[in-house]
Amino acid sequence: MAFTKSRATWGYLIILLSLALTMGFVAHFSAPRENQTVRVPVALADWSLFFTQLTVIIIAARVLGSLAARSSQPRVIGEMIAGILLGPSVFGWLSPDWSKALFPTASFGRLQVISQIGLVLFMFSIGLQSASRSQKIKTSYLAFVAHASIVLPLIFGALFSIFIFETSAGPAADLFSFALFVGVAFGVTAFPVLARILEEFSLTSSYVGTLAITCAAVDDVTAWLLLALITAIANSHAGVGAFVTTFAGTLGYLAIMKWIIRPWILKTKSKRVAMVLLLLLTSVTYCETIGVHALFGAFFSGVILSSHSVLKDWINESLGEFHRYIFLPVFFALSGLKTSIGSLASWNDAALTVVLIFIGIAGKLGGGYLAARFVSIDRRTSLALGVLINTRGLMGLVILNIGMDMQLINEKLFTQMVLMALVTTLMTGPLLRLLDLNRLRTNG
């Protein structure tokens, strides 16, 4: 049997896990010799726990991801479910003692670092794909559909936030920033998951596939620009000067990236690791310094480099899938540890969750459908477009974690919106099958 690239990936993964288990085992049973000076201030048991956590997280993500793929669902669905299973909603409920022993709160620091590295690389790779996606906007009506499909979920989310502000807002939120954030969370589309769905259903080159990818591309940029604005508004509590600094710093950053860095990148013919890392790290550090989330800088660094096709392809090949196998599963696990379905035990909380999911679906699916029908696209294609862009998946979790970090939403709303992201992603495949995939592949 040929030694394929996928088998090599699995081989390296087995080697990595075996090494982690071995070193964790050795560290756990190691003890200082008599009169030995311990030079490292961190307990070996902490590292043993860290390696054990990584092993459990990676295995759970791979197993659940494979099961999801066999069920005709994107792997990210299984990885999201794996994170929830490892959290207090399932593991913590079935075995509280084991859950606290494996995932004590004090151990989250290292996992958080791994998670953030994974998210920076993920958003960087997403930005790299922006050029190819934006090329699909070939006519004015496509651009209109893309923009219009964002408006309705933003409006629905903002209006809905008025009624839940007192019970669901975080300590750092005022009504305006909270409403804007909820609107963004309602309006985002998970284009990495969307791209996989289109590929699995052979819709990538179809008319509806082009529409969906275009809308997702516009959603990406719009969501991150709005998040930058939200950050500036949140900083306004520290005074007008903080708001002006953040807002002006963001505008200056975008101007420098567009008119200075981008032309220089396009003239660069060599592939330099140092140059790419310098751009990424400088961008991330600057955005974090001025008060904008670091992921904003990671995303737009990718956008700038996406203009250079040779450099973009080389970076994608160099990054490979490593961050998807190691870093992102940790992010899912941490999201799951923040998700406590048990906190929605009351009938009021359960009913509010159902209403939130319904409004999220109505806003995004309905917005896509109405925007497409407005420009005279047929009903079947319009409905399929709404179904596709209603997919929130991983991007939904990224946005929600930023909201938690900024203390704009509380843990209960975080859990409710995680469930919305999961439901809206799960429903995509079955609804597309109901709409007749063969006709969708040939329409337009």
Query: pLDDT value at position 414?
Result: 92
pLDDT, mean of residues 132-156: 70
Segment 144-156 mean pLDDT: 84
Q: pLDDT band at 383, cuts 50/70/90?
A: very high
Residue 403: how many CA atoms within 13 Å on its side-chain side?
35
* Out of 36-50, 141-155, 344-358, least confident range: 36-50
pTM (predicted TM-score) = 0.77
Average pLDDT, stretch 195-224?
79
Q: Give the per-residue pLDDT at 376.
A: 84
* Dihedral sign (CA 323, 290, 265, 263): positive
Tokens in use for 182?
A: 């909820």
Q: How far apart are CA 116 and CA 328, in angstroms?
A: 9
User: Tokens 């590929």 — which residue?
Assistant: 199
Taking the CA of residue 252 as centre, how many other CA atoms within 13 Å lie in the half-sphere pointing to its CB?
A: 10
Q: In angstroms, rounded to a whole number, what is the distance separating the alpha carbons of residues 120 and 194?
A: 20
**429, pLDDT greater than 50:** yes
DSSP letter for 16, please: H
Q: DSSP character for 275?
A: H
d(CA 190, CA 130): 13
Q: Among candidates 411, 307, 339, which has minimal Cα distance to 80?
A: 339
Q: Where are the alpha helices (DSSP H) in 129-261?
A: 130-134, 140-168, 175-187, 191-200, 207-235, 240-256
Reported confidence tier of residue 43, pLDDT bands at 50, 70, 90: very low
Angle at 237 between CA 236 and CA 240, to 5 degrees: 40
Rounded CA separation 430/340 (Å): 27
Q: Is the pLDDT of residue 31 over 70?
A: no
Number of continuous H segments (helices) and E segments (strands) in the chain: 24, 0
Confidence of residue 165 (pLDDT cuts 50, 70, 90): very high
Comparison of pLDDT for 239 and 58, the residue scoring more: 58
pLDDT of residue 1: 45
What pLDDT is attached to residue 83? Answer: 87
pLDDT at residue 181, rounded to an integer? 92
Q: What share of the chain is helix, strand, coil (3-state, %, to 5)?
A: 80, 0, 20
* Whether the predicted pLDDT of 5 surpasses 70: no
The DSSP output letter for 409 is B
Q: Please give the pLDDT value at position 139.
A: 54
In this prediction, what percent of the chain has a pLDDT beyond 70? 79
- In whole numbers, what is the pLDDT of the chain averaged over residues? 79
Contact indicator for 389, 382 with CB cutoff of 8 Å: no
Percent of the chain past pLDDT 90, that is, above it, reads: 15
Distance set, CA 174 to CA 234, 288, 356 (Å): 8, 21, 20
Greater pLDDT, 225 or 56: 56
User: What does the pLDDT look like over 303-357, one tens digit per residue?
Assistant: 887 777 666 666 766 665 666 777 888 888 888 888 888 778 788 888 999 999 9
Which residue's structure tokens are 């309705």?
152
Whole-number pLDDT of residue 133: 47
Question: What is the per-residue pLDDT for 8?
Answer: 56
The answer to whether 398 and 196 have CB atoms below 8 angstroms apart is no
Give the residue from 172, 181, 174, 176 showing the smallest Cα distance to 154. 181
Phi then psi dihedrals of residue 158, to 5 deg: -65, -45
State mean pLDDT over 278-283.
88
Mean pLDDT across the stretch 127-154? 68
More reliable by pLDDT, 114 or 25: 114
Q: What is the pLDDT of residue 388?
A: 92
Q: Place 137 in a pLDDT band, splitting at 50, 70 and 90.
A: very low
Q: What is the mean pLDDT of residues 167-183?
A: 90
Average pLDDT, stretch 381-408?
Answer: 88
Q: Report d(CA 169, CA 179) in Å as an integer.
A: 9
C-alpha distance from residue 115 to each of 108, 118, 270, 289, 291 (Å)? 10, 5, 31, 20, 20
- What the block records as the tokens of 337 is 């540890």
Mean pLDDT check: name the lowest of 94-98, 128-132, 194-198, 277-281: 128-132
Task: Tell me what pLDDT residue 360 has.
Answer: 92
CA-to-CA distance for 349 and 342, rounded, in angstroms? 10
* Residue 362 pLDDT: 93
Q: What pLDDT digit, counting tens, does each position of 226-248 carry?
A: 888 887 777 666 556 666 777 78
Q: What is the pLDDT of residue 317?
A: 67
Task: Identify any residues that bridge with 169 across adjacent strands, giving them in sequence order.
Answer: 409
According to the model, what pLDDT value does residue 361 have?
93
Question: What's at 216, amino acid-wise?
Answer: A
Burial 259-268 (b: 16+ CB within 10 A, else e): eebbeebeee
Which has more confidence, 172 or 326?
172
Q: What are phi and psi of 169, to 5 degrees?
A: -80, 150
Only one residue has tokens 């050795």, namely 26
Q: What is the pLDDT of residue 22?
A: 59
Hey, what domains does the chain have and what are their CATH numbers? 129-320+342-442 (1.20.1530.10)
- The residue among 402, 352, 340 whose CA lies nearest residue 164 is 352
> Which one has a higher pLDDT value, 393 or 431?
431
231-238 long-range contacts, Cβ below 8 Å, gap at least 24?
231/291, 231/292, 231/293, 231/406, 232/291, 232/292, 233/174, 233/176, 233/177, 233/180, 234/172, 234/173, 234/177, 234/406, 234/408, 235/291, 237/172, 237/174
